[in-house]
Every structure is written in C-alpha cells, then in structure tokens.
Amino acid sequence: MTIQWFPGHMAKAKREVEQKLKLVDFVIELVDARAPFSSQNPMLQQVLQNKPKMIVLMKKDLADIAVTDKWLSYFNEKKVPAVSVDVNQKSDIKHVIQLAKDLGQEKMKKLEKKGINPRPARAMIVGIPNVGKSTLINRLANKKIAKTGDRPGITKQQLWIKIKKDFELLDTPGILWPKFEDQDVGYRLAAIGTIKDQLLSLQDIVAFVITYMQEYYPQYLLERYDIGENMNDMLDIFEKIGQQRGALESGGHVNFDKVSDIFLRDLRTGRLGKITLEQP
C-alpha cells in the first residue's frame, strides 16, 4: 500500500517555506515524540539544507519516557539539539526558549563581527500537521496567537510572532510529503492522528499497532483489554476488544469499525499507556 496525500495548500506551503528560508537564522522542527523519525518530513530536510536546526519532540506526556530519552540522545549524537516537551509544563517551554536563544546567538555574533547591530534572532517553526505547533506557539508567546485544534491542517498561512525579546518566529502550515514509500511510516502517522482517518483502513492501522505492542508493550494490552501474550490471531483480538468494550451490532456480532475507533481513541488519548511506536 502506498499512501498519497498532498493537498494543494501543502504544495503552496512548501514553496513559501523555500522562499522564506532566507529570512531566518535557524529552524525549529517539531516532531511527535510517539514517532520521532516517521514524523520528520524528508522533503522538508531537502528544503532546509544546511540551515541550523533544533528538534522539539512534542506530546512527550503521551510517549514512553525511556524511549524519548533514547531519541534525544540519537538526535544529539547527530549534532542536532533536541528537547522533549509537554506544552502544559512551563519548565519545558522555558527549555525550548533557551535552546532557541543559544542557537540564535551564534548568528548574532557573526552579525556583530560584520558591524551589524544586533537584532532578535529569527526562526522558522515547521512540522507535519497535528503535531501541536499552534499550541506550542501560543505557549511560547504566552498569549493566543495561532489557531489550535485536534484536526490536521489548522494553520493555512505564515505569520511572524515575537517571543519576548529573545527571537522572532515565523509560523508555517504543517506539511506532509507527497508519498510514503515506507508503509510502516504511514501506519505510524495514521495511528497518532496525523493523517485524516477517512484516508486509510482503520482496521489495518489498529492491527499494525497491536502487533507492535505485542512485542514492546504486552502489559498494556493485558491491562486494558485482557489480551494475553498467547493471543496471536488478529480476528480473536478484535473480537475480544469488541466484546469487552461493547462494540456490538444487532445479533451480538462485533463491529470491527467500532473496535478500531475505540482502540485509536484509547491510543491517542494515552488511556492505553505511554507508548512510542518506533525505536531509534
């Protein structure tokens, strides 16, 4: 299965990112802590080229803390500063601001050496849809500037935002890339809600996540749905969840679409546990 999803406004946003890149000193790329590699846009990496960059792992409160620490080490080893964030924690927001200030200072020193008066560093914030970009911007600016919502694709235009006296931020719409060559990347992004649910088979997504959890998080399946390690048949697993959670239709048959909805809601809200869907 090849997943393709590239609405017109995303093509336009890509062109705008390319045009505005020369206006900024560095880039803040947001990824989802539950899928830090899959939620990096490979097309964006080509566009950004050699521009200094920091990575913010969003929604750390929903991810496996131990695996998040491994991902932070992974990015730092690649000489890319990285920080994990729960947008409701003020200390995390301060950490993002400090990291951005440090990254911007290098550029300011170069300008000073050329005899140019210091100015606030300028950063571009980028990321895939529904990664929590608008919420983070509002926290950084300490006021409501960007529209927020749990639907992908809320931000449709670019705007400059002052972050205290520390730096200026250029917001950009979330951009997905035209095609997922790796099917698993598509499944992970669909599972965390980056791709609109209508575009894929939810049953396939759920089966993918359950298979992954049987290897890495069997205890959560046992605690939430009473699914033991000896249960390997996906049909039996769906039946078990459906019976347990009342996802039934007339005649007492399990409705697999309802099971998929219930499972993904449990996963995305953290009721299933703190889960990261890929290892560095």
pLDDT, tens only, 84-102: 999 999 999 999 999 999 9
Predicted confidence (pLDDT) per residue in 164-198, tens digit: 777 888 877 666 655 667 889 889 999 999 887 77
Domains of the chain: 3-179 (3.40.50.300), 201-269 (1.10.1580.10)
**What HEC string does the chain produce?**
CCEECCCHHHHHHHHHHHHHHHHCCEEEEEEECCCCCCCCCHHHHHHHCCCCEEEEEECHHHCCHHHHHHHHHHHHHCCCCEEECCCCCHHHHHHHHHHHHHHHHHHHHHHHHCCCCCCCEEEEEEECCCCCHHHHHHHHHCCCCCCCCCCCCCCCCCEEEEECCCEEEEECCCCCCCEECCHHHHHHHHHCCCCCHHHCCHHHHHHHHHHHHHHHCHHHHHHHHCCCCCCCCHHHHHHHHHHHHCCECHHHCECHHHHHHHHHHHHHHCCCCCCCCCCC
The answer to whether the predicted template modeling score (pTM) of the entire model surpasses 0.75 is yes
Q: What is the pLDDT of residue 121?
A: 87
Q: Which residues of the chain have pLDDT under 50?
A: 147-156
